C-alpha cells in the first residue's frame, strides 16, 4: 500500500492504461506541456509525446467532436475538461453524437470515450466555474456517469472507464484532488454501476456522493455520539443508479436522507426519489428528505456561497427529525 493523492491516483490510472494500450490517448486544454490544471496529466507528455497527449485550442465543441470521431475509428480518447462547466459548450457533441451514435448506427460504431475533469462548488470560483453538471447529463440516453470521492475509487473507476466500450463521464470534485489514501501496489478495478456501502447501520439510510461523502461522515460522527446508527452509501454510479443496493438498505432501515451538491430541481436525488416512489414506496416508514444545493447560480461571495450548499449540521437535523 502507498499513500497517494487523488490527482496522482488519476494520473497513475491514465499512465497505466496508456502504457498497456496504444489506442488510449489524452486531449484537452493544457493537458500536455503544462500537465493539466490539477496536474492529473503531469509528465505524460514527455513520456508519450504530442500524438498521445494533445494540447487543444480553447474550443470544447471542436475537440469533443474530434474525440468522438477518434473513438468511432477504434481509438480510446480520454478528454479532460479543464473545468467541467466548460463542457456545456460541447453539449451537442456529447448528447447528439457520443450518446447516440452506437444506437443510430445500428451498432456499427462503438464510442469508447471517457470525459473527466473537475467540477462542483469550489471556494469562490464564481457561478460559471461552480456548476454541477450531473443533472444536465443524466437525461442523455447512452451515457454512463460516475463520481469519484476517494483516491482509491478514483483510480479504479478511471481504469474501468477507459476499458469500457461506452461513453462515460467521470466527475471529479475540485476540492478533493489533495485527498490522500493508501492504494494497493497491484492493479485493481472498480465497477462502473455499483454503489459503495461506506458504513453499515440500522436506523436510517443516508445516500450521497462526491464531496458530500465527507460532510455526511462528519455528521455521522456526531450522530453516533448521540446514539444513532446510520447507514451511509456512496452512490458512485449516477447513471445507472444502483437501486438494488439502496433497496437492500431500505429494507433494513425504512428511512432515507439523500445528500447531494447537485441542484434540487431535476437533480440526482429527484431521480432516486422517483424510482423509489415508483417501485419501493412500501419500504418507507417516513417521507424521504433530500438535502440539495439551492436552485441559484453559485455566488462568488464566500458567505453566500456557503449558504447555497449542504453542511453537516443540516444532515444531523434531518436525521434527528426522521428518527425522533
Between strands 204-208 and 196-199, the pairing is: unpaired
Residue 1 has pLDDT above 90, yes or no: no
Residue with cell 469550489: 122
Range in 126-135, 185-194, 216-225 the model is least confident about: 126-135
Instruction: List, for residues 270-323, the tens digit of each pLDDT value.
Output: 999 999 999 999 999 999 999 999 999 999 999 999 999 999 999 999 999 999
The conformation of residue 282, written as its DSSP 8-state character, comes to: G
Phi, psi angles (nearest 5°) of residue 323 = -100, -25
Question: Could you give the angle at the alpha carbon of 51 between the alpha carbons of 87 and 86, nearest 5°?
Answer: 10
- List the catalytic residues: 60, 129
Residues 6+ apart with CB under 8 A from 35: 41, 42, 43, 44, 45
Instruction: List, for residues 196-241, the tens digit of each pLDDT value.
Output: 999 999 999 999 999 999 999 999 999 999 999 999 999 999 999 9
Average pLDDT over residues 91-110: 95
**Residue 306, all three cell numbers:** 456557503
Q: Show the domains of the chain with their CATH numbers.
A: 2-183 (3.40.50.970), 196-323 (3.40.50.920)
Q: Does pTM surpass 0.75?
A: yes
Query: 298 with 305: CB under 8 angstroms?
Result: yes
Q: Closest by alpha carbon to 204, among 319, 324, 321?
A: 319
Amino acid at each position: 500500500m502507498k499513500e497517494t493523492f487523488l490527482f496522482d491516483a488519476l494520473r497513475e490510472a491514465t499512465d497505466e492504461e496508456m502504457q498497456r494500450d496504444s489506442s488510449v490517448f489524452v486531449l484537452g486544454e493544457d493537458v500536455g506541456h503544462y500537465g493539466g490544471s490539477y496536474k492529473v496529466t503531469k509528465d505524460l507528455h514527455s513520456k508519450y509525446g504530442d500524438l498521445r497527449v494533445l494540447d487543444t485550442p480553447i474550443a470544447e465543441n471542436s475537440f469533443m467532436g474530434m474525440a468522438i470521431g477518434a473513438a468511432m475509428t477504434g481509438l480510446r480518447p480520454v478528454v479532460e475538461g479543464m473545468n467541467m462547466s466548460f463542457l456545456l459548450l460541447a453539449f451537442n457533441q456529447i448528447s447528439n453524437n457520443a450518446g447516440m451514435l452506437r444506437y443510430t448506427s445500428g451498432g456499427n460504431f462503438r464510442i469508447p470515450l471517457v470525459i473527466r475533469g473537475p467540477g462542483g462548488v469550489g471556494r469562490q470560483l464564481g457561478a460559471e466555474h461552480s456548476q454541477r453538471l450531473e443533472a444536465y447529463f443524466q437525461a442523455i440516453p447512452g451515457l454512463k456517469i460516475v463520481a469519484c470521492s476517494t483516491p482509491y475509487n478514483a483510480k479504479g473507476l478511471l481504469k474501468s472507464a477507459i476499458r469500457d466500450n461506452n461513453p462515460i463521464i467521470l466527475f471529479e470534485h475540485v476540492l478533493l484532488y489533495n485527498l490522500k489514501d493508501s492504494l494497493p501496489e497491484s492493479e485493481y478495478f472498480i465497477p462502473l454501476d455499483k454503489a459503495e456501502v461506506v458504513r453499515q447501520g440500522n436506523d436510517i439510510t443516508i445516500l450521497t456522493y462526491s464531496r458530500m461523502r465527507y460532510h455526511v461522515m462528519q455528521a455521522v460522527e456526531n450522530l453516533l455520539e448521540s446514539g444513532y446508527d446510520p447507514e451511509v452509501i456512496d452512490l458512485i454510479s449516477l447513471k445507472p443508479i444502483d437501486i438494488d443496493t439502496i433497496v437492500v438498505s431500505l429494507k433494513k432501515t425504512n428511512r432515507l436522507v439523500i445528500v447531494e451538491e447537485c441542484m434540487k430541481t431535476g437533480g440526482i436525488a429527484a431521480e432516486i426519489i422517483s424510482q423509489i416512489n415508483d417501485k419501493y414506496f412500501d419500504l418507507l416508514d417516513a417521507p424521504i428528505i433530500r438535502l440539495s444545493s439551492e436552485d441559484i447560480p453559485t455566488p462568488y461571495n464566500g458567505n453566500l456561497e456557503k449558504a447555497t450548499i449542504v453542511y453537516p449540521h443540516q444532515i444531523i437535523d434531518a436525521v434527528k427529525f426522521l428518527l425522533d
